[in-house]
Structure 1
């Protein structure tokens, strides 16, 4: 694409908005994590890169980001509101440079770029995330937005419709009322598009690198070259067009005009060899068992036999949540639905699959001998929410799959196609053709956003979407009749603050000092062990 851009006399920028770690065996499958991953990632020619929340959950992950990824992309890694605490002297320093100013190669467009993270509070204690509202008041930012440039590019692990980007947009417009602004967002796992004004737009590229978000801007006159640029339309006639390209070779071949024979470059072949070598070394294709059916994260209602959460709640957790010293004690075991990140497909369940489905290193903790009258209210309270959580930094949106931040209702695919059916609010919704027009389509993204319903590069059959609760629960070792007086409350470590808040609301004064380790094994390991014991080996 860079070669094609050079031939056309235009510029192409590649941006990465974070969450590169966790959720794939190339990172999670080694000890230490990322043994092969960082060398593979640095082979990409990324122009602007920033941090996601997943790079910051664990102390060692944040340290590797600072020690490896930042220098691997020196001058291109931006951390506008993120600091790192130097372990040698305790000094708080920027994770990377705050912004970048550069001139594009072909059009001479003077770009000023920032890299932000949303107001994240779950980061490890060797990092500091400064609220965006505070960052934009700092002298360096105020000086930067007063620069005479042709384009502002703001990348970030930030929702396009969230308060952080709204604040940044207003700050820039207060000093540069006419300069084009392009936002690139992330975190909520949807394809999304937002218009801030006629010269300021934002695009978000889905999740898990399933989507290449393509944004084409025409009408910018670059002033960064001495030679006279090719005549372009005035700013008043600028256009911003987005495209959501499915991340597969078919799309790449189509847009590059190449094919199986001509597409691969020598550098690309080298990186492919690195990936294959790493996968083999990590034994990522090892199969724990054969999934007898598809289990869906959001494509099936909960509860139902096709829901991955029903399977986890009724089959897996009752069998694997065990502490030998407490095995006969009535127990409520709780996990958040956001701990599961993808569907299970019928067929081989491999080592790589375990990290795709459940990438986190969450262990199970517990509070012993909790009065059952209080413990039984935890599930309902966390799922329904209320003032007890609204008044704290522990937003319930952190517990469920990230898509639910933007998809506020179930999306049902009608049996009889209804032309133009959609839901407002920028979520992914069915785009339906009439029965006479409908070809044989593969299920996939069918996006409706602020730009309309023409953003998807490939037309797909619509997929239903069912919202799920924030947490699910299994009751273990309960008496055959009646209710126990006390129970052990077991939960994944990530949700400890919410469990303690819920118990406090129920009249119990438990604190972190009352929490103990229930098992050292992670949910990922326990799930893999269950599959190994319960699903047949060969498909």
Structure 2
């Protein structure tokens, strides 16, 4: 990249016609241009209900209405240049923001808001399937909203009226010809080998799906100038390699454009010189861009001559100044009637849902991964030291010693200093986390559970017999330890292999940042240039193609690793320094945990019973714990108790 290829977005002007009214204005940043090609793609993934944008973060404060306006302008630019533009979405549109989660039923507003964008290829994520009613809405709302553009290559739905298993949508794959270049596209839409879905959905393992007759027909008989594989699959997960290898075995020269999701990271992966995958972040922070050039028209049955294929990618910050820059518009020419109507609909929905209702005022920022999880400024320190001991209390067992274990993946975002609103509760912890417990577990056993949950090897070995019968060399475990942590933890490139190991809770490596990328501000430009605005902290991505993928040049942010789980110890007796027999260790504890990790907790206890600690101190075998031993500890969701804690402890107005 040369200095001439970097631009500085014009200073902020009135944005009254766009964004949400309470969103912070975007800040100018040095910009890298998009590289247009023969066929171009805009990609969203893992939006998780953030369609109002990030109201507290300037770099991501545009909303879904602004994306609609942006896409319209980009289509116009494509038409003028005689090239093609397609829009992709790879799932997880639900759970994670009050705009989706605060309504009854959930998604009362977001299904219609999302459907206003004209998306060419779309698929499901795993979050569309955790709850049966969410899977129902996916089948009955999202699928019809996008008709033949919705692809369900390995996802079925069980019709409650007939009990029959049918494809989630009528399309396992889609063939079409592009508008301008007249390229023949064969597109697929996959989900990773997900096993936590509700009983009204069925996910067929990818390795089985690519052996299906319809898939073999699609990759060998359909005319294809370009294969487009979209999937709610991490760009570096084995399932994508299985799809790639199946296509490449039959089509050694046909280019393949792959659009990944699930991992919540910006990433691009080089499969070969004619096959590239892009992952486009999370939470509507990022709009991914991929362009492909050098694609040739072919006739079915003819040999395709090798030709050079060029891929380019950008990760576009979702803010208005960047959207203006890439669409060659300004504050006056950017908003479209359609986009403004959707922006207004989002504002109305947020008002109807009372998302700005304040429960208290956070006294400081608490970070999910920008600080070590033991740091006082970490969300997890706040949880371990205050919220879990003080909010997770059952009145009739308040005096009983207890260990409270939660998985770090139950928390999904930072808490910003200032108003803690109704919206914040869903942003920070969007899930229906129910609080369960096993009463009176021997402490000698219970104290070892956290170590097992945070150490991959033993528990996976113990569960090996449960391995899916469908497993291949890219097979799945019946229980995947990674589900307990945040998706970002295990989805980075090989150079970040330290994030893929399993950590003990006190692992010193968790105190060192994982993902800081010291990226040059720009190539060939004086770093002391006083005309350049100060850099805003944000993504500084390093992928298979280098360090120039982000459209806005940022000040790098640190990101620290997390264990799978943390725990709080509550009501433990005090040790007596003068009497060694008074150790401060109770004989038994209430073992408290979220329902999501119940199967992992029971597996850890079973492992300890069978392998780690075969007998209790008195020589008798430990009890074998099962689901029958698990009881409800508190009524309601964890977020209900979290909210009450905020109301009581952060009372002051902002």
Normalising by structure 2, report the TM-score: 0.77
Correspondence for 1:499:
601
1:42 aligned to which of 112, 115, 132: 115
Correspondence for 1:187:
262
Alpha-carbon offset, residue 209 of structure 1: 1.5
Write the distance in 2 (CA, Å) between the matches of 1:71 and 1:235.
Answer: 39
Per-residue CA distance 1:399-453 (angstroms, 9 max, x = gap): 1111111344679xxxxxxxxxxxxxx9673314599616621110001110011
Per-residue CA distance 1:126-178 (angstroms, 9 max, x = gap): 11111000000010000000122111000001111211111111111111111
Write the distance in 2 (CA, Å) between the matches of 1:351 and 1:187.
Answer: 26
* Higher relative contact order, chain-length normalized (CA < 8 Å, sep 6+): 2
1:216 aligned to 2:291?
Answer: yes
Alpha-carbon offset, residue 290 of structure 1: 1.1
1:462 aligned to 2:556?
Answer: yes
1:253-332 to structure 2, matched below 5 A, reads 253-332=324-403
1:429-440 to structure 2, matched below 5 A, reads 429-433=517-521, 437=527, 440=534
Does the 8 Å CA contact 2:368/2:414 hold for their aligned counterparts?
A: yes
2:573 aligned to which of 479, 490, 494: 479
Does the 8 Å CA contact 2:515/2:558 hold for their aligned counterparts?
A: no
RMSD: 1.8
Per-residue CA distance 1:28-83 (angstroms, 9 max, x = gap): 00011011111111111010000111111111111110110011110011110111
Write the distance in 2 (CA, Å) between the matches of 1:505 and 1:168.
Answer: 35
Does the 8 Å CA contact 1:365/1:490 hold for their aligned counterparts?
A: yes
1:100 aligned to 2:174?
Answer: yes
Kindly tell me: are residues 115 and 491 of structure 1, through their superposed partners in 2, closer, same or farther at Cα, counting changes over 3 Å? same
Does the 8 Å CA contact 2:90/2:259 hold for their aligned counterparts?
A: yes
Question: Which 5+ residue runs of structure 1 have no aligned equivalent?
Answer: 225-233, 412-425
Kindly tell me: are residues 436 and 307 of structure 1, through their superposed partners in 2, closer, same or farther at Cα, counting changes over 3 Å? farther
Alpha-carbon offset, residue 505 of structure 1: 1.5
Question: Which 5+ residue runs of structure 2 have no aligned equivalent?
Answer: 1-73, 300-304, 467-477, 500-513, 576-583, 610-622
Write the distance in 2 (CA, Å) between the matches of 1:387 and 1:94.
Answer: 37
1:102 match: secondary structure: strand
Per-residue CA distance 1:311-359 (angstroms, 9 max, x = gap): 0111111111121222221111110001111111111111111111111
Does the 8 Å CA contact 1:190/1:427 hold for their aligned counterparts?
A: no
Correspondence for 2:154:
81
1:398 aligned to 2:398?
Answer: no
Write the distance in 2 (CA, Å) between the matches of 1:493 and 1:293.
Answer: 30
Correspondence for 1:366:
437
Does the 8 Å CA contact 1:361/1:522 hold for their aligned counterparts?
A: yes
Does the 8 Å CA contact 1:409/1:467 hold for their aligned counterparts?
A: no
Write the distance in 2 (CA, Å) between the matches of 1:240 and 1:199.
Answer: 8
Does the 8 Å CA contact 1:370/1:489 hold for their aligned counterparts?
A: yes
Does the 8 Å CA contact 1:374/1:506 hold for their aligned counterparts?
A: yes
Alpha-carbon offset, residue 389 of structure 1: 2.4
2:119 match: secondary structure: coil
Query: Which is worse superposed, 521-530 or 19-28?
Result: 521-530
Per-residue CA distance 1:432-475 (angstroms, 9 max, x = gap): 45996166211100011100111111110111111011101111
Kindly tell me: are residues 537 and 427 of structure 1, through their superposed partners in 2, closer, same or farther at Cα, counting changes over 3 Å? closer
Does the 8 Å CA contact 1:428/1:448 hold for their aligned counterparts?
A: no
Correspondence for 2:590:
488
1:214 match: secondary structure: strand
1:171 aligned to which of 213, 226, 246: 246
Correspondence for 1:420:
none
Alpha-carbon offset, residue 537 of structure 1: 3.5
Correspondence for 2:139:
66
Write the distance in 2 (CA, Å) between the matches of 1:235 and 1:364.
Answer: 58
Write the distance in 2 (CA, Å) between the matches of 1:324 and 1:409.
Answer: 44
Does the 8 Å CA contact 2:521/2:553 hold for their aligned counterparts?
A: no
Per-residue CA distance 1:203-222 (angstroms, 9 max, x = gap): 00011121111001112234
Write the distance in 2 (CA, Å) between the matches of 1:30 and 1:248.
Answer: 26
Normalising by structure 1, report the TM-score: 0.93
1:376-387 to structure 2, matched below 5 A, reads 376-387=447-458
1:113 match: secondary structure: strand
1:506 match: secondary structure: helix
Kindly tell me: are residues 427 and 104 of structure 1, through their superposed partners in 2, closer, same or farther at Cα, counting changes over 3 Å? farther
1:395-434 to structure 2, matched below 5 A, reads 395-407=480-492, 408=496, 429-433=517-521
Does the 8 Å CA contact 1:190/1:206 hold for their aligned counterparts?
A: yes
